[in-house]
Chain A
Amino acid sequence: KAGVTQTPRYLIKTRGQQVTLSCSPISGHRSVSWYQQTPGQGLQFLFEYFSETQRNKGNFPGRFSGRQFSNSRSEMNVSTLELGDSALYLCASSLSGVSYNEQFFGPGTRLTVL
C-alpha cells in the first residue's frame, strides 16, 4: 500500500512570504501530525489533526497553522517566513492517533528561506 506522500519535496522562498505544504496520509489513517526538523533543534512536533480537528499543538508561533480535509489529507501553512523556518518539514500518519505509537513518516519537504 502507498506510503505517506508530501508535496512539494523542495521549496525555496524569501523572507516575508508564505508557504503551504501538503501531506497525503496512508489510506485509512485518520491522524496526521506535522514536525519540523533542524540540525539545531532536532525533530519537533508542530501539531496533530484527527478527523479535521486539531487535537494537539507544539510550542510554535501562530504563524504555523494547518488543516485537515475530509479525506484526511492535510496542509500546513507558514506565514511571514523567517530565515529560521528553513528546515525539513515532515508529516506522519497513524491509524487512530490514540497515542503517537507507530507513526508512518513521509519523505519530507525541504524548505529553504532566503
Chain B
Amino acid sequence: EDQVTQSPEALRLQEGESSSLNCSYTVSGLRGLFWYRQDPGKGPEFLFTLYSAGEEKEKERLKATLTKKESFLHITAPKPEDSATYLCAWEERLGPSGGSYIPTFGRGTSLIVHP
C-alpha cells in the first residue's frame, strides 16, 4: 500500500537557523512529488514538483530534493515570513492496475520561525 509520512509534525526555528523537512514515501511508480506551502486560512500555494531521484529545485530560501525513498525541503536562513504549513503531495494510483491517479496530500509540517 502506498504510504507517505511527513516529519516532523511541527518545527520551531529561530530566524537564520537552517533546517530540513522530510517527506518519506513508499509509493510504487511515483509520478511526481509536489511541495506546497499553506498559510493559515488560505489555500495551498504550489512550490515545487520533483519527478526523479537526484532532482533538485530551488526558490529563494527553499530547496527541494528527491531520493528513491524521500524528499527533503531544505530551508536556509529562514525568516519569520517562512512560517507556514508545508505539505508534500503525490499522485496515488486508483486500484492495482488502473490508469487513473488522484492527488494525495501528507499531513504537513507546521513551521514557525521566531524573529
Q: Which residues of A line the B interface, CB within 8 A? A: 4, 33, 42-45, 48, 55-58, 90, 92, 99-108
Q: Which residue from A4, A42, A102 sits with its C-beta under 8 Å from B49?
A: A102
Complex-state Cα separation, A92 to B89, whole angstroms:
14
**B32-A101 in contact (CB<8A):** yes
Show 16 A/B contacts (Cβ-Cβ < 8 Å), sorted by A: A42-B108, A43-B105, A48-B102, A92-B43, A99-B31, A99-B32, A99-B91, A99-B101, A100-B32, A100-B103, A102-B34, A103-B46, A107-B41, A107-B42, A108-B41, A108-B43
Complex-state Cα separation, A17 to B41, whole angstroms:
25
B51 to chain A, nearest CB (A): 9
Complex-state Cα separation, A60 to B3, whole angstroms:
19
Residues in A whose Cβ lies below 8 Å from that of B28: none
B76 to chain A, nearest CB (A): 23
**A56-B32 in contact (CB<8A):** no
Residues in B whose Cβ lies below 8 Å from that of A102: 34, 46, 49
B64 to chain A, nearest CB (A): 14
Cβ of B107 under 8 Å from chain A: yes
B83 to chain A, nearest CB (A): 18
Residues in A whose Cβ lies below 8 Å from that of B107: 42
A75 to chain B, nearest CB (A): 17
Complex-state Cα separation, A108 to B107, whole angstroms:
18
4 smallest CB-CB distances across A and B, nearest first, come from A105-B43, A100-B103, A43-B105, A45-B102
Residues in A whose Cβ lies below 8 Å from that of B89: 100
Q: Digitize B87-100: 1 where CB-to-A-CB distance is under 8 Å, 0 elsewhere.
A: 10101001000001
